Chains A and B, each alone.
Chain A
Amino acid sequence: MSEAIQFNNVSLNYGSKNDVVEVLKRINFSVNSEEIISIVGPSGSGKTSIIMLASGLETATEGSIKINNEEIVGLKEDKLSEVRRKNIGIVFQSFYLIPNLTAIENVLLSLEANQKYNQDDDAKALLADFGLYHRLNHLPSELSGGEQQRVAIARALINKPKIILADEPTGNLDSANSASMMDLLFNYTKKSKTSLVMVTHDNSIAERCDRIIEIKDGQIV
């Protein structure tokens, strides 16, 4: 089984020379393809920072990060965007749908970023699978929180990425919505043979994953 993500001695610092905040301290881990892992730990331990680094949206202070065996540390913005487009789908805690785009347009955005055009049927099918067929042309403001997150997950999955990075995807949902959302996410990642790295505070969700990585004070424990 090949490795989808590799972190080797990765550190992340913020602040100036005299006032350095060490967010991550030389951490090492890898995620295999089709593996589902959860990252848990107390607030401020560095969980989300791992997702930020893995997505190429933040740059490691030192160390090496490989996505599908491609080193991403040191890449320029355009190249990082390309790696992200080809390999990664991100799900945020706050959904972050684009407010003036309808549900289907939000999903198509992900395909169009990859120069995949005229795939409206795929997007419709996916949203129908997510129980949103009747909401295709609704703006985010017309959707409930659970519906918005389902659109956000569909946006992350539509492009069939090799890795899904999810940052507390159920953090803004009630328990019923949360459970159905996780069912959806697990089923689809397994079905599409995708790796899933998920930050969560919810132990019940973490326990459903193949592996749990626990972070404390910027280190894996």
Chain B
Amino acid sequence: MVKLFNAQQLRLINKYAIRDFSRSYKKLWVVASTLFISLLLLSLTFSVKEALNNEIEANAKELLGGDIQITSGIDPLPSLVFEELKALGKVSSSIELATMVSKKGQSSVFSELRAVDDNYPLYGEIITTPQGAAEKIFLNTDKPTVLINESIQNLLQVEIGDDVVIMGKSFNVAGLVLSVPDLAERAVFGEFAIISKSSYDQFELSSAGSFLDHEYRLKFNNSNEEGEQTRLAKSIIAYDDTIETRLPGESGRSLNRIIDNFSNFLNLVSVSAMIIAGIGISNTLLSFVNQRNTSIAVKKSIGFSSNFIQLMYFYEIILILIGTSIIAYLFGVFSPLLANEFLPKSLGIDLQPTISLIGYLNIFFIGLLVVLIFSIPSLYSISEIKAVALFRNTFQPVSLNFSLKNIILLAILVTILTTYFVLQTDQKYYTVLYFLAFFITMLIFYGVSKLLIFFLRRLHKFSNNGYRIAYRNIVAKKSLAPIMTISLGIGLTLLLTLSFVANNLKKEISDSIPSMAPDLFFVSIDRDIKSDLEAFIKNIDPNVALEFSPMASASFISLNGTPIEEIVSKNNRSAWVVRGDRRISWAEKPKPDNPIIEGEWWEPGNEDEMFISMDSRAAYDLGMKINDKITLNILGRDVTGTLKNFREVDYRDISVNFAIIINKAFANKLPYEYIGTLKSDLSSNDILALVVERFPNVSAIKVDRILSQISGVLNKIFIAVTGISLIVIVIGLIVIVSAVMVQATFRRYNNLIYKILGVDFPTILKAMTIEFAVIYFTLIFFALSVAVLGSYLVVENTLQLTWKFDLGLTLWILLTTATVSFVLILMANKSIFSPKVYPLIRNE
């Protein structure tokens, strides 16, 4: 060409590509379908995440319940401060506490109780059944009323109009809370009730100890000066460091973090699916090029350059990408409407589809990178097709072109793809690790296929025809082994790894933890009733195992004089230990199940000096050393103590454990309460009912209820995760089926020759079964090895649980995958079982 790719030539490329595509679309269905499925998965993830973020952003004030939220902790704000805040706007004060809600004399349930004033909610509304039930809690009637959520209703078996008991006082159930505007986690996932603040004050429901928060929400008078008003509100409460504030942007932060982590995982699975799809694209394109060998040579003989022809096929693939990405994006855009059906109604979230060019370009860009990475080696093989072959009629199939230039180009594109994903997530380290593991696994499986061929070549003396044909098929140049090993191997490895992790976690929750864990947790036991409570329970069951630990609230201020927030990043694994209020305890001697692994325990006595014992894992994560000086704020007073030792704390048994323990002699001066556990052979329901009746202010959590809630959430997550990893396998199977179909002519020809030579159908079927079995069993060995290693590292190191192998689950996954794969391969191969002699002899 005189000038490379001027406008007219580009039009020509467009014309050729569209014509070629319209006449050969059947050969490109694998490219289109695998691309579509993987892009759809990516699009669904991005769209739902974007819709959730938009919803949270748009309803930031509703989710917070005000223009600013102030939390003063156990103590209310002084009335003067409260009055000052009222000058800025409308104030709604509420108290949140954890307490027992009971059906009189029968079952009890540990619930979050919110006591609200009549200004609540400042934004949005409380949705109830029946409508308007929220107003009833503020009516001045003889009997106070309560709104409960569906979970309490189900657990206590109460109806609207029935009575429930809260801290010894009887409340009439006015209605069911369906949702509250400000996000309440327990309203969604647990037990939640609302009463009026006047009921709370009137009945002196005040002994909730340290599990209590006073919250104030403000709606500013002048919404145009929110920045200034916020500054003023903050200055009013600046006198106390422990008072926390939250602004609308921060309201959905924890939900955002969960969404980010889950969508990051989904994105990684999507890109894995896309990379496997890429293998199929590469294979299909290569066979496409080989099938068009003559046409390409003719074009070259006429005067078209390799670059022109390559660009034409690239353009064809890009057209497919544009088409599939638009459809996948549109499906994704409307997926939030479907997601609404699966989100708990109590979240009060209504996702809306949003179409954005940036959103589409994001999907397209990732698809483009994957398409380029996998089509370059295939399409650059066009340059290896020589037009001189037209004179000799000697066409050789071309193979993937891995020239140095291509390798550098591919390395750059893979780096861009990885970086693009890494930059979009907070979990950068894990994302890089995932990509690294993924590419290493790909290389391992490629190596496995080569190893299999290598060993088979050395063991080729088979006396049986079925084995010989299977052997020839595996070691042949166009063998299924590499593509099947890589595409099915990665999918199977992912499925096995996730299933192993999920299974270990589920077993820990359903089997191991219940056997070790107590039946009941008592929270915030007033020290005045501790002895009576202990005696009462021992009277019910003399063999009960009861354990009480003293407890006070403290917050972390500094380490060796440096403010802790300057030392510990938000992403630190143990940041939770130093964030916000933390319960600390004290002891004369270390607990037997908390062995000291560094430093020494302190001598008894010395009430003027505070000594500290830390959970070793947290201490190492936070960079602490023995003899460091730690300043804690205990009950409003900063106290500096010396770090004396690190304990190994095992939280798995859900017994009472503390990250921070101080010396008893010093702690004796502090006001405190108790936390306790109970394990008994008697029914925990019965014990709890008796305890709550006798001690209305005691709160207890039933461990099996918590575990069943966790199991429920985990089950849903695992179903989703397994479903997603199955998509990777489905794409792998499409890729394999396409590879089988690409080979169909070659296999049909071979089978015809076998047929002419007298080999019967059962032998051909047997050969195919042996071929599949040899490849699959080799693949299983490595997939299982990688999955065992990967899941072991996650379970033992990240989740800190004991890894166990489940043979039944493993066999189930392997057999199911093998059956589905083999049936699909047979179906794709059906045309080769009875090849028609005539067309092949006539070379048609």
Contacts and interface: CB of A to CB of B under 8 A. Distances in A.
B295 interface: yes
Contacts of A100: 20, 23-24, 295
Nearest to B291: A99
B391 A81 contact: no
Contacts of A85: 302-303
Contact of B390 (A92, A117, A155): A92
A142 interface: no
B304 interface: yes
Interface in B353-405: 386-388, 390-393
A122 interface: no
Nearest to A110: B302
A155 B303 CA distance: 12
A113 interface: yes
Contact of B391 (A77, A82, A92, A114): A92
Contacts of B297: 96
B302 A115 contact: no
Given A96-B298, A98-B298, A113 B303 contact: yes
A55 interface: yes
A65 to B, nearest CB: 15
B12 A82 contact: no
Interface residues on B, range: 20 to 34
B391 A51 contact: yes
A67 B185 CA distance: 83
Interface residues of A, number: 32
A80 B2 CA distance: 12
B242 interface: no
B9 interface: yes
Contact of A81 (B12, B298, B305, B390): B305
A112 B307 CA distance: 16
Nearest to A76: B305
B388 to A, nearest CB: 5
A57 B301 contact: yes
Contact of B302 (A52, A77, A93, A109): A109
A18 B595 CA distance: 78
Contacts of A81: 1, 300, 303-305
Interface in B279-331: 294-295, 297-307
A181 to B, nearest CB: 18
A40 B304 CA distance: 30
A38 interface: no
A114 B303 contact: yes
Contact of A78 (B1, B20, B298): B1
Greatest chain A CB density within 10 A among B2, B298, B301 is at: B301
Contact of A115 (B9, B24, B392): B9
A55 B302 CA distance: 10
Nearest to B11: A117
Contacts of A77: 305-306
Contacts of B307: 78
Contacts of A167: 391
Interface in A46-63: 48, 51-52, 55, 57-58
Interface centre among A77, A105, A155 (most CB of B within 10 A): A77
A84 B303 contact: yes
A39 interface: no
Contacts of B301: 55, 57, 84, 90, 92, 96
Interface in B557-583: none
A177 interface: no
A28 interface: no
Contacts of A9: none
B79 interface: no
Nearest to A114: B303
B611 to A, nearest CB: 81
B529 to A, nearest CB: 89
B8 interface: yes
A114 B3 CA distance: 11
A112 B393 contact: no
The residue in B2, B298, B307 that gathers the most chain A C-beta atoms within 10 A of its C-beta is B298
B2 A113 contact: no
Q: Which 6 A-B residue pairings sit nearest by Cβ, starting from the closest?
A: A85-B303, A113-B303, A98-B295, A100-B23, A57-B388, A57-B387
Interface of A: 48, 51-52, 55, 57-58, 77-78, 81-82, 84-85, 90, 92-94, 96-101, 105, 109-110, 112-115, 117, 155, 167
28 contacts: A51-B391, A57-B300, A57-B386, A58-B388, A78-B4, A78-B305, A81-B305, A82-B1, A82-B2, A84-B301, A84-B303, A85-B302, A90-B302, A92-B301, A92-B391, A96-B294, A96-B298, A97-B298, A98-B298, A99-B294, A100-B295, A109-B299, A109-B302, A113-B304, A115-B2, A115-B8, A115-B12, A167-B391
Given A92-B301, A93-B391, 10 more contacts: A55-B301, A57-B387, A78-B1, A78-B4, A78-B305, A84-B302, A84-B303, A94-B390, A113-B299, A115-B1
